[in-house]
Amino acid sequence: MTGRFPSYRDASERSTLQAKATQAKAALACCTLCPRRCRVNRAEGETGYCRTGARAMVASYNAHFGEEAPLVGSHGSGTIFFTHCNLLCNFCQNYEISHGGEGWEVTERQLADIMLALQSAGCHNINFVTPTHVIPQILGALVLAAEDGLKIPLVYNSGGYDQAASLRLLEGIVDIYMPDFKFWDSAVAAQTCDAPDYPEIAREALLEMHRQVGDLIIDENGLARRGLLVRHLVLPQNLAGTRMIMRFIATQISRNTYVNVMPQYRPCGRAHEIPALSVPPTAREFEQALRETEEEGITRLDQRRRVFVIW
C-alpha cells in the first residue's frame, strides 16, 4: 500500500478524484455504466433498468453492526443503502428498497454530508450498499466530502454485477471491495434476476477488484484497511453453485481471499415463484457449503455465524 490512506485522499489532492467524477457524470448521458447498458440519458432524468436518473436515492444510513467483523469494529460500519438496483434478484432481502423504491432523492452535497455525519458518529468506514448504478453520484459527492475532511475508508458493497470498465473509474478511490458472488449457473441467474451473463460478469468484476486492491489487509485493531472481501449467500438445493465459485476464487483470484459464506437466506419478495427458493437452506446444506469452501482451498472465512430460522 503506497501513498496516503485512504486512497481517495491522494486522488483528491492530485485532482484525480475530480477528473474521475467528471468522466463518470458524462457517462450518464448515454448510460452504459452497468452490464444492462440501457443507453438512456440519465442526466436529463431518463431512467433505465435501475430506475435512477441524475440524482441518487438513499433509503437509509446508519452505523451498522451486522456487517463482517473487520468492517464493524467497536463503532460500526457507516452504511448508506441506495434505493433501486441494477440486478433486482426476485428474492432480494431488501425488496422494498431495491424493487419498491423506498427512499429519498439526494443532491451530491446531501450525500457528502451523510458521509461526514457517519464519520462524526465514529464509524470505521463508509459502506456504499448497492452502489453500482450510482457511481457518478458517489464520486461527485466524494469530491465535496474529501474537501471537508472525510478520511475513513470506502467500502464498495455490490451484488457483483459490475462492469469492469466502470470499476476502473474507482481505481485509486475505493480501498475495500465487498462484492457478492451469487450464482455460478447462468440458468439460475436468468431465472432469478434476468441476468444470464451474471456468472461471467461477476468473474470479470472480482478479477478487476482484486487487481486494484489485492487481498484483504486487516490492521492491528482488527479493522479492514484495504483489499477484497467476497460474500456468498448459500441458497437451498445448491442453487448458488458454491463449490465452483470457491474453486474460481481459489485458483483465479487468491487462496487468501477473505470470504463470508452466509446462511441467512430467507424467501422474500417474489422468491415463492421458484419452488426451490420458497424455503431457506437447511443447516445441513449450509454445513455442506462450508465443507466445499474449505475443500476448494478457501479457509480465510468470516467467523460470525447467524442463527437458523426453523420453517
Cα dist from 293 to 156, 168, 228, 246, 289, whole Å:
23, 29, 17, 6, 6
Region 249-272 average pLDDT: 97
**pTM for the full model?**
0.95
**229 has pLDDT over 90:** yes
8 torsion bin: left (phi>0), alpha (psi -120 to 50), beta (else):
alpha
Q: The C-alpha cell of 176 is what?
A: 475495500
CATH architecture of 7-46+57-295: Alpha-Beta Barrel (3.20)
State CA 272 to chain mean position distance: 25
Q: What was the pLDDT predicted at 5?
A: 83
Q: 309 pLDDT band (50/70/90 cuts)?
A: very low
What does the pLDDT read at residue 306? 45
Of 300, 202, 209, 305, nearest to 258 (Cα)? 300
Give dist(CA 209, CA 214) in Å, integer. 8
> Mean of the pLDDT values across residues 235-246?
98
From 220, 237, 289, 284, select the one nearest 260 (Cα to Cα).
Answer: 289
Largest CA distance in the chain: 55
Residue 189: predicted pLDDT = 98
Quickly state the pLDDT bin for 4 (edges 50, 70, 90).
low
Measure the CA angle with vertex 10, ends 43 and 166; round to 5°. Answer: 35
Indicate whether 1 pLDDT > 50.
Answer: no
pLDDT tens for 76-96 read: 999 999 999 999 999 999 999
| Mean predicted confidence (pLDDT) in 216-240 | 97
Q: What is the pLDDT of residue 303?
A: 81
Which pLDDT score, from 0 to 100, does residue 139 have? 98
The pLDDT tens digits of the residues spanning 163-221 come to 999 999 999 999 999 999 999 999 999 999 999 999 999 999 999 999 999 999 999 99
Interval 29-55: pLDDT, tens: 999 999 999 999 999 999 999 999 999
Which sequence spans correspond to the domains of the chain? 7-46+57-295
SS (H, E, C) 94-126: CHHHHCCCCCEECCHHHHHHHHHHHHHCCCCCE
Q: What's the confidence (pLDDT) of residue 3?
A: 59
Render pLDDT for 107-123 as a digit per residue (tens, 0 to 9): 999 999 999 999 999 99
Banded pLDDT at 304 (limits 50, 70, 90): low
Mean pLDDT, all residues of the chain: 95
pLDDT of 311 = 37
- CA distance readout (Å), 243 to 185, 289, 308: 12, 7, 22
Residue at 6: amino acid letter: P
In this prediction, residue 10 has a pLDDT band, given cuts at 50, 70 and 90, of very high
